[in-house]
A = this chain, B = another copy of it.
Amino acid sequence: MSQMQQVERQLREMILGLDIGPGEKLTERWIESRFGASRTPVRAALLRLETEGLVSRDGRGWTVSPINLAEIEQIAVYRQAVEVAAARLTAAFEDRSGLDAIEAMLDSCGTDTPREEWHRVGTDFHVELARLSGNEFLYRAVRDAMTRLSRARWLEISDEAASARAWAEHRIILNALRKGQGDEAADLLAKHIGGSRDRLVGSLQAERRGLRARGFAVIAA
């Protein structure tokens, strides 16, 4: 694997894992020394991460993208459009056996599953559902949207009851898709995404002071 891809992957992991806080300044030279690569692959990695929305230009320099509540709300609307479209496509297929793998993914999460795994599966549920549609653009749209939401979701205050309800919704959506009930699944999915957005934005607004104290830039909606 080329160094550019290594730098890109490691830097993405550091950003998504909040090892580098939202809003922090980045210098090409720091990344260079941190990962032992020269500036050429570093710059390539930054350019690609910029298109993912994980880093942004700050005048002449680079910044880890702040968490932006207005952006989170816009992403929810975007997700409703693309995820619902993907679900309708999937529901209309004759062979919907691909849903089994997604159900199995949900099954793999138990009470002793680490939080990191729940986070991953909670993301992959939506991404894999979009992939099932067979439409590369809808799939990429959902994958990119979930990537952008990743850090915010990581910071969300866990509410056992709400999480359990959201998890149950995943099952219900899958069941509707299984039966080919596109309209029903679309409606459930849109509501599910809306609820997810409300909890996320609400949680971040409540934590905002604490997050800023930790050095995390959070832009109000």
Question: B-contacting residues of A (Cβ < 8 Å)?
Answer: 40, 43-44, 47-48, 51, 71, 74-75, 77-78, 80-82, 84-85, 89, 135-138, 141, 145
Contacts and interface: CB of A to CB of B under 8 A. Distances in A.
Contacts of A85: 77-78, 80-81
A48 B50 CA distance: 10
A136 B71 contact: yes
Given A47-B47, A51-B51, A137 B78 contact: yes
A14 B43 CA distance: 25
A84 B80 CA distance: 12
Contacts of A84: 81
A135 to B, nearest CB: 5
A44 B4 CA distance: 13
A137 B82 CA distance: 11
Nearest to A52: B51
Copies in the complex: 2
A43 B136 CA distance: 26
A82 B77 contact: no
> Which 9 residue pairs are nearest across A and B when measured between Cβ atoms?
A81-B85, A78-B137, A51-B51, A47-B47, A81-B81, A74-B135, A81-B82, A77-B135, A74-B137
8 contacts: A43-B44, A77-B85, A77-B135, A77-B137, A78-B137, A78-B138, A78-B141, A81-B82
B77 A138 contact: yes
A121 B112 CA distance: 57
A78 B135 CA distance: 8
Given A77-B135, A81-B81, 4 more contacts: A40-B40, A47-B48, A74-B135, A81-B85
B89 A82 contact: no
Contacts of A51: 48, 51
Nearest to A133: B77
A89 B77 CA distance: 10
Given A44-B43, A84-B81, A141 B138 contact: no
A165 to B, nearest CB: 26
A48 B43 CA distance: 12
